Amino acid sequence: MTQRLHLVFGGELVDPQTNVFRDVSKIHIVGMFPNYETAFSAWKAEAQRTVDNAHMRYFIAHLHRLRDEEKSGSATEEVGH
């Protein structure tokens, strides 16, 4: 069975029109989730909690898309080499 991990994270952006964080050290890691449905639920809760701050954004990263188990040298393994 393939595991499809999702990371939910967010923080304050420099400009609401971009995806550049004001302070990367203050990124809020909500958590890692085993499927999109639970990740979406966590994302929605954080987005609603911070709705009054137009600079706050939360994202869902599809971690399973970063690694292709079928290829011997995926892009993530090549980083830093």
36-80 pLDDT, tens digit each: 999 999 999 999 999 999 999 999 999 878 765 565 554 544 444
Residue at 44 is within a domain: yes
Measured at the CA of 76, the angle between CA 10 and CA 68, to 5 degrees, comes to 100
By the 8 A CB rule, do 34 and 5 touch?
yes
- Give the pTM: 0.77
Cα(71)–Cα(79) distance, integer angstroms: 15
Q: Quick one: pLDDT at residue 66?
A: 78
Cα(5)–Cα(66) distance, integer angstroms: 10
Which amino acid belongs to residue 14?
A: V
Residue at 1 is within a domain: no
Q: What's the domain range around 13? A: 6-78
Residue at 63 is within a domain: yes
Number of domain units in the chain: 1
Residue at 64 is within a domain: yes
